Amino acid sequence: MTPLLHFSLRNLLTRPLRTLLSLIGLTVAIAAMVGLFSVANGLDRMIHDTFERIPGLIAVQPGAPIPLFSKLPSAWGADIADTPGVGVVNAEVWNRAQIIEGKQVFSPPRFLFGTDIATRTQLRHGVYRDALEEGRFLTPSDNGTLNTVISRSIAEEFDKQLGDTLRVDGNNLTIVGIYDCNSLFLDVTIILDVDAVRRISRTGQDTVSAYYVELAEGANSEAVIAAVQDRFRGRKLDAVDPNSLLNMAMGAQPTTAVNGQGGALAQWLNRLFTPPATTNGESVAPQEPSSEVALSQENETDDGTVDPAEELPLEIRSVEDWTNDFEKFSADLDIFLVIMTGIGITIAVVSILNTMLMSVTERSIEFGILKANGWSRRDILLLIGLESGILGVTGGVIGAAIGWVATLVINYYWAERVYLYAGPGLLSASVAFSTLLGIAGGLYPAYLAARMTPMEAIRRG
């Protein structure tokens, strides 16, 4: 240990209470930083892990954030399958499970996933089938039945095993398989035959939620997307109704816009808050433009022509598209996390600054004697900088350790609700950042101490 380092440690230990308070402030700030950014890191990690398992394309209704809020004609599946480069097209029907085993389901949500079993078995890669741990996956013999494959987390939550019955929304489902993707995004699904989900959710045979498209061997995804878009260009389909998101949150079925009026909730609100037009004292229902007229008006450019890019009645999304959408949300979350972390860091820096200023004030005679004995300004700067740096490193190591342990505890006790990830990069950056904060907090006090002459320092003391 160098004499300067030994001197710095001794000075900090001679004022244990003040040093401890500074360490606590910095430790709390760094621990909070690790905890907050582990939320964003965990979300990013889950997103990439989830979509890496889904290599195909997904066709949904324009504007639908996820397939749950999408509705497409069931007849379109054959047209997609007939597109060059398309290998297998699997029809999907999604619906939220409302009541399981007599318990209202809110968080974590559970979803009924209806799949066309015949085409599902033709997929080269099936995310749920590949993650199967017990029993079997659905086969064509399960068509029309209530046989189901559920996740390990759902089985454990309701204490179910293979062969048991799981009662969902008034229907007794027989468990024939249990899968475990180890993903909060994927382990929320109850898999059934597509017609079974249609019966449970009262969805018509003429609609599906989405189509999962697996490409043929060697096909280019961009070329296939362009080919499908060209095939459907000009067809008419209403965009998803934003009110369906609210309807779903309230437990209703997702709806689509009809004649420009939106879903049932939107129509009710429209009637409630829009006064009727009158003619000669008599109420007249307001006239709405037809969907074709509204669509053509929306699609017209400034020169009166129709923009071809706006004619698409369905969206084809790749893994990159989904990842980019979630990364935009994650970027907004990062801004919030930076603001919250900045508050704690500001408090920590002020605490270190106060500690070092008080230290310089109390030790002015000591600095005067040191300078009288040949210490230079550089030596004084190094001494105080080293003291504040020690506070920064110590607070960073302790804070990062506490934050990391906290993420492990939270992941263990709330594994089905949240996933936090504090990797080596985040922990190392936190310690380095804490060290810089400590040094920055001591710069001004070090400057004040270094600029004093020996006589001035002794006189102040």
Is pLDDT above 80 for 86?
Answer: yes
Average pLDDT score over the chain: 80
Residue 286 structure tokens: 């307001």
pLDDT of residue 66: 85
Please indicate, yes or no, whether the overall pTM of this predicted structure exceeds 0.85.
no
Mean pLDDT of the 363-371 span: 76
- The residues, ordered by sequence, that sit 6+ positions from 30 with a Cβ below 8 Å of its Cβ are 348, 395, 396, 398, 399, 400, 403, 430, 431, 433, 434
Burial of 274 (0-12, 13-18, 19+ CB in 10 A): exposed
- Which among 61-65, 73-77, 314-318 has the top mean pLDDT? 73-77
Instruction: Annotate 249-274 with DSSP letters as a single string.
Output: HTTPPP-B-STTS-SHHHHHHHHHHS
Mean pLDDT of the 14-40 span: 84
Q: Which of 57, 42, 130 is nearest to 89 (CA)?
A: 57
Q: Could you count the other beta carbons within 10 Å of the beta carbon of residue 418? A: 16
pLDDT digits (tens, 9 = 90+) for 259-294: 333 444 444 334 433 444 444 444 344 344 333 333
Largest CA distance in the chain: 104
Is pLDDT above 50 for 89?
Answer: yes
Q: At what angle do helices 424-451 and 319-362 cross, to 10 degrees?
A: 30
Mean pLDDT of the 89-102 span: 95
pLDDT of residue 243: 55
CA-atom Rg of the chain in angstroms = 32
pLDDT digits (tens, 9 = 90+) for 298-335: 444 454 444 544 568 888 988 777 777 776 766 777 77
pLDDT of residue 47: 78
Where do the domains of the chain lie? 3-49+320-460, 57-247
Label residue 431 by pLDDT band (50, 70, 90): very high
Q: Where are the alpha helices (DSSP H) in 62-164?
A: 76-81, 117-120, 127-130, 152-157
CB of 69 within 8 A of CB of 97?
no
**DSSP character at residue 107:** S
Look at residue 55 and give its three-state secondary structure: coil
pLDDT digits (tens, 9 = 90+) for 128-154: 999 999 999 999 999 999 999 999 999
Look at residue 158 and give its three-state secondary structure: coil
